[in-house]
Structure 1
Amino acid sequence: MRQKTQTPEDAKLRTALENMRYGACTTEDLNFLRTRVASDRPGHPHLDTAIYRNVSVITALNIHKDVMNNLGAERFARDHGQEIVEFYSIDKLSSAAVDRKKWPGCQQAHFKSMGPNLQDELWKATPATINEHIPGCLKLCVGMPVMIKVNQATELCITKGQEAVIVGWDASVGSHNKKVLDTLFVSLINPPRPVQLPDLPLNVVPIGRTSVHVTALLRDDSLISLNREQVVILPNFAMTDYASQGKSRNPNVVHLNNCKDHRAYYVALSRGNEAEHTVIVQGFDEKKITSGMSGYLRQEFRELELLDEITKLRWEGKLPMTITGIYRGQLLSSYKKWKGNTLIDPPHFHPSIRFKAGVDDIDTPIQYGTWKSTAKKESAAKSKPTPKKRKAEEPASTTQAKKQRTQQGTKAMQNVTTAPAKVHGTDPRAVMAYAGPVGLIWDSMNYTCSYDALLTPLACLWNENPRQWTTRLSNYSEMLGIWATHKLLHPNLPETARDHFKQLLHIKQPNDFPMGPRGVILDRLLMAVTQQRPYGTAVTRCEHCGWQAPGVTETLSQYVDVSMPNALKDRYPAGILASEWFAYHFDKPVRCCPMCNQRMRRLTTITEVPSVLLLAISLGDLRLDEKLHFGEGNTAKTLRLRGLIYHADWAQHFTSVVVDGQGMMWYHDGMTTKRTCILLGNIKELVDLRAMHFINNGRLAAALYGEETG
């Protein structure tokens, strides 16, 4: 709900929307909603009022939206004394398969060429008959409100759903002797941030013509595959309830007649800021908002409220640490077992989702499988990336920074702290892991916090099998091999091995790794201790015609900069798993085939996987996996998350979290905790590893994965 005023009418609207969310509107709610139906009667809004003249109407069906847009465009031109200018698309037949998701019962039609009759039919068709809603003919005039229908330049706020007003255009004559729109200039309405381009007024941006593969529905209910070139916008006199999501509108005019259920009603009506300017066209179906909701939706709402309650109790320190679970079902099951027969809903729960004995019993959660990629993979890093300008660790005031870190660095994360499980057996490695890893002490004469943050998790990994890990590190990194060999010779002098490691880096690259009270850039350190090795063969193949390019040897660095390519931004709006990121980069679309001009794929066959992998985290919404699986058959390896490196901007300082062999997480800050590592909890008890993106004012900067010790 987006109300900004506090009138009695707004209070009634908020109450009606809250009940509508659960399909439980009362008689009072219905009486209020009837007063917002457009009518000539006193006390009702009138659509002929000037404030509603050019407002986009929220409706349910695309076909209704298209009709409203056509009528609105003609009326707008008459009101402003302008002529409608028609701009036609450039259509070319495509041999690609049609998209049958929208029209599952229709068959694909095949045409040898684009005849004039077929072209005219495609131009006259409404956008609702195109799967991407790209019009064949745009009817525009200056000043007309429009809506952008594609993410073309997010940095310029040219995004899908952005509303704008036409200020001008560049056009030409196409091969069919009709006007073709080359560039449309629009003034953005309330963009997220001001946009200023050279030689253009504030918030005025150009939208170029783009080519999009579409599927069109013909009059005989057959489908045709096209490549359509057009400026991807629509007149904005109507929009669907789906397209209205996320918007705040004032006034808010809605056409509810064909809305599917109470959820669609809620979406449409909750867009408005004020009850006074909320208008319902042609009435509404009362049954859709008074007949309740489906069982699965009721369960979803109830579980979300219970999760909120669990979070609140944990924050207040009233929740036992035994209430844990990696998945939602496990967490709710443990919560119910704790409550037992005393399970009572908090007062703020809506009556529609309150607990009902025998109905809302939470079953024992299912056993969830572990995610494992079976796709062939492509190179994640063909060459070492250019290091980003991440701030160095050099504090402005050492004394002040040390005092602040002393107060904060020893505080463990209370929301994940739990007693460690009892260790069975006499394995000395298990006893050591239970006692906690040994950290490195920060050197105040030669700043070492970045080295400490990297080497402390590595040391924990190395201690599980020193000789095996010395061999592994020597095979994959010269610098890490030297450090591991030094530790093998002097196991009781961890700081000596670190200082020797730092001195060697200084000799090789004195500017990047200075001595004395000066910090280093973390990216440069991670790149310096890793190296590239051949790990597989990549083949570029056309899935359409079978053409294949010669295979090439791929190289993989132990250092991978995880950034989000444009192709993944829309696919993973809620954040991407590291395993999903690797699966995409090992098998992704590349350039077009030279034989058939269709998109090809680059597939990688893995022959060797490094024992250590360092991920530089530049994505705030990256979701780390506890395990990563690479390769197949004899080359298969599983890498476990063994360390997290944090960067504190406020003091230019690095800390780390060590994940030992039992999955216990330990916080280390060489300046404050010194040799001691503070227990945070078990990684398996975290519902989402994004909870570890921030700790003690430090932001997650890198993650360390290591091969499982055999």
Structure 2
Amino acid sequence: MHFLPIINDSPWQIVKQEKNKHKNTANTDFTFVPAVGTISVIKKRKLNWSDNDAPPRKKLAKFLSSQRQSPLGLIWDSHDYSCSYDSFFTILYNIWKDNPEKWTENLQSIENTYLNLLVKGFQNMNGNQTFESVRNSVREKLHKNYPSIFPLGHAGTSVGQLAYYMLKPTDYNATSQAICSKCNNEDMEVDEIHAYSVHIASISTASSTQDWVDPFEYPIGQFCQECLSPMVKYVKYDHIPKTLVLEYPHTDIETSHQIKFVVNGKSISLYLRGIIYHGDNHFTSRVISREGQIWYHDGMLTKDTCIEDGTLQDMSNEELKECQDKDLVLAVYSQI
């Protein structure tokens, strides 16, 4: 499937605390190893039809019929390639606009400088600021601090790294613990900082995104000091995420329409609100409304609009895995 960075981050699970344990703290920093397709690229594919030519008749009719009700999208920047930003920010904006007051609070609670700048831009879009200028202001700040990860010009940017840096909090928000897979010997719990963007382990046996997050466990390559069996690391959020990005390129994992977390007997669901695809060195996205309406966005082709693309209820998992000859990279979930 997709081409995103491999993030040295542990998967997570929210579980009820059975007993008090001694805690240690660690501010974990993570290293990215770009997966195939996420490295910087020089060549960009061309559109099947140019801005000066009329698109095929069926595409044009579908395009015009959806313009009035279309969610807002971002126009691709041909000077500084922007498709990773276009695909991710278009999904985030259309989550935010459902309830601006609520989602301003939800996103700002992550306390991420780049995300806060994006949300502030969303709020200013009713005035003179365009969606593209909002995107560019966030991109410029990311480029200033991490120029090799977020380059300008015709170099590509990984959407997985973008989600990670946009959704990483500044304070401890998770707890991890290594437990022996055989004798249940336990290490101390450790408070950690984890982005609300998770990359699945390549050896995962999960059959769906719901199965992946429940439970969330991760082999760590360490062995028990008591019996020498492999240790497994369990990671849990301190609070159920308001939004969560799950990155699983090149897997057969089924994309669940919703994922449920259970804490102290209480179930809270996060719903599928967007999918990002990659192919031909280009990212595109599907935006999914609260009602399950699917819209297709490609900043090169559809520009600032989205094209109606069916409903979630009627779309098979195979149809969700591919879109316009591109493969699924990651899914965005959020509470309603």
TM-score category of the 2 structures, normalised to the smaller one = 0.7 to 0.9
1:148-195 deviations in Å (ceiling 9; x for gaps): xxxxxxxxxxxxxxxxxxxxxxxxxxxxxxxxxxxxxxxxxxxxxxxx
Assess, with a 3 A threshold, how the Cα gap between structure 1 residues 540 and 559 changes in structure 2: closer, same or farther. closer
Paired residue for 2:302, among 659, 664, 673? 673
Q: Residues 452, 635 of structure 1: CA spacing in aligned structure 2 closer, same or farther, 3 A cutoff?
A: farther
Task: Call closer, same or farther: CA 1:586–1:435 in 2, change over 3 Å.
Answer: same
Distance across 2 between alignment mates of 1:505 and 1:447: 14
Q: Within 2, Cα distance between the matches of 1:589 and 1:451?
A: 32
| Higher relative contact order (CA closer than 8 Å, sequence separation 6+) | 2
Identical counterparts, % of pairs:
25
User: Is structure 2 residue 86 aligned with structure 1 residue 452?
Assistant: yes
Distance 1:481 1:520 in 2: 20
Q: Secondary structure at the match of 2:74?
A: coil
The residue number in structure 1 matching 2:23 is: none
Q: Deviations over 1:390-446 (max 9, x none)?
A: 345856366x446379858x859x9xxxx99xxxxxxxxxxx9x9331111222233
Of the three residues 224, 235, 249, the one matched with 1:618 is: 249
Q: Which residue of 2 aligns with 1:440?
A: 74
Once the two structures are superposed, residues 29-49 of structure 1 have per-residue CA deviations (whole angstroms, 9 ceiling, x without a partner) of: xxxxxxxxxxxxxxxxxxxxx
In the alignment, structure 1 residue 564 sits paired with structure 2 residue 210: no
Aligned partner of residue 32 in structure 2, secondary structure: coil
**Using the alignment, how far apart are the partners of 1:491 and 1:438 within structure 2?**
13
Q: Partner of 1:578 in structure 2? A: 209
Post-superposition CA distance 1:522-546 (Å, at most 9, x none) = 3332333221553343444568767
Question: Secondary structure of 1:507's match?
Answer: helix
Tell me, in whole angstroms, the C-alpha distance in 2 between the residues paired with 1:472 and 1:466.
Answer: 10
1:513–1:690 Cα change, 3 Å: same
**Residue 636 of structure 1: how far off its partner (Å):** 5.6
User: How far off its partner does 1:461 sit?
Assistant: 0.2
Distance 1:541 1:661, change over 3 A: same
> 1:640 aligned to 2:275?
no
Deviation at 1:456, TM superposition (A): 0.7
Amino acid at match of 2:144: I
Distance 1:538 1:374, change over 3 A: closer
Are the aligned partners of 1:535 and 1:555 in contact in 2 as well (CA < 8 Å)? yes
8 Å Cα contact 1:577-1:624 kept in structure 2:
yes
1:396 aligns with 2:25: no
Q: Is the 8 A contact 1:644 1:703 kept in 2?
A: yes
Residues 544/478 of structure 1: CA separation in 2 closer, same or farther (3 Å cut): same
Query: How far, CA to CA, are the matches of 1:660 and 1:469 in structure 2?
Result: 15
Structure 2 counterpart of 1:655, from 265, 274, 284 = 284
1:535 correspondence with 2:173: yes
Contact 1:471-1:481 at 8 Å conserved across structures: no
The answer on whether the counterparts of 2:14 and 2:237 sit within 8 Å (CA) in structure 1 is no
Give 1:598 deviation, angstroms: 6.1
Tell me the distance in 1 between the aligned counterparts of 2:250 and 2:103: 30
Does 2:104 align with 1:470? Answer: yes
Query: Are 1:457 and 1:642, in contact at CA under 8 Å, matched by a contact in 2?
Result: yes
The alignment's TM-score, normalised by the length of structure 2, stands at 0.75
Larger radius of gyration: 1
Q: Deviations over 1:69-89 (max 9, x none)?
A: xxxxxxxxxxxxxxxxxxxxx
Q: Which amino acid aligns with 2:173?
A: Y
Does residue 628 in structure 1 map to residue 263 in structure 2?
no
1:128-165 residue CA offsets vs partner (Å, 9 max, x unmatched) = xxxxxxxxxxxxxxxxxxxxxxxxxxxxxxxxxxxxxx
Q: Match of 1:692?
A: 320
Contact in 1 for aligned 2:14/2:235 (Cα 8 Å):
no
Q: 1:540 to 1:702 in 2, by over 3 A?
A: closer
- For the Cα contact (< 8 Å) 2:164–2:197, is it kept in 1? yes
Q: How does 1:64-143 map to 2 (within 5 A)?
A: none
Cα RMSD after superposing both structures: 3.7
Matches of 1:510 and 1:591 in 2, distance apart? 34
- What per-residue deviation string (whole Å, max 9, x for no partner) do you get for residues 271-298 of structure 1? xxxxxxxxxxxxxxxxxxxxxxxxxxxx
Q: How does 1:58-69 map to 2 (within 5 A)?
A: none
> Which residue in the other structure is 1:387 paired with?
33
Match of 2:144 in 1: 507
Seen in structure 2, the aligned counterparts of structure 1 residues 384 and 595 have a Cα distance that, compared at 3 Å, is closer
Classify 1:385/1:583 alpha carbon distance in 2 versus 1 (closer, same or farther; 3 Å): farther
TM-score by length of 1: 0.38
Match of 1:682 in 2: 311
Conserved? CA contact 2:73–2:299, under 8 Å: yes
Q: CA deviation at 1:548?
A: 3.9
Provide the rounded CA distance (Å) in 1 between the counterparts of 2:31 and 2:282. 23
User: If each structure's helix is expressed as a fraction of its own residues, which one has the higher value?
Assistant: 1
Task: Write the distance in 2 (CA, Å) between the matches of 1:595 and 1:489.
Answer: 58
Structure 2: state its 5+ residue gaps.
1-12, 18-27
Assess, with a 3 A threshold, how the Cα gap between structure 1 residues 698 and 548 changes in structure 2: closer, same or farther. Answer: closer
Letter in 1 for 2:269: T
Alignment correspondent of 1:147: none
CA distance in 1, matches of 2:269, 2:116: 21
Q: Is the 1:375–1:583 Cα contact (8 Å) retained in structure 2?
A: no
Structure 1 residue 496: Cα displacement: 1.9
Query: Relative to 1, partners in 2 of residues 1:587 and 1:411: Cα closer, same or farther, differing over 3 Å?
Result: same
Structure-2 separation of matches of 1:543 and 1:509:
38
Aligned partner (choices 102, 123, 133) of residue 496 of structure 1: 133
| Alpha-carbon distance between aligned partners in 2 of 1:547 and 1:518, rounded to the nearest angstrom | 47
The residue that corresponds to 1:481 in the other structure is: 116
Q: 1:536 to 1:509 in 2, by over 3 A?
A: closer
Trace 1:160-559 onto structure 2 (pairs within 5 A): 384-389=30-35, 390-391=37-38, 396=43, 400-401=46-47, 403=49, 411=59, 435-476=69-110, 477-491=112-126, 493-532=130-169, 534-540=172-178, 547-559=185-197
Counterpart Cα distance in 2 of 1:392 and 1:528 = 17
**Mapping of residues 140-155 of structure 1, within 5 Å:** none
Letter in 2 for 1:537: T
Aligned AA (2:30):
K
8 Å CA contact 2:286–2:294 kept in 1: the answer is yes
The match for 1:315 is none
CA distance in 1, matches of 2:158, 2:14: 36
Report the equivalent of 1:209: none
CA distance in 1, matches of 2:209, 2:151: 33
Residue 166 of structure 1 aligns with which residue? none
- Is the contact made by 1:540 and 1:603 (CA closer than 8 Å) also made in structure 2? yes
Unpaired runs of at least 5, structure 1? 1-372, 421-431
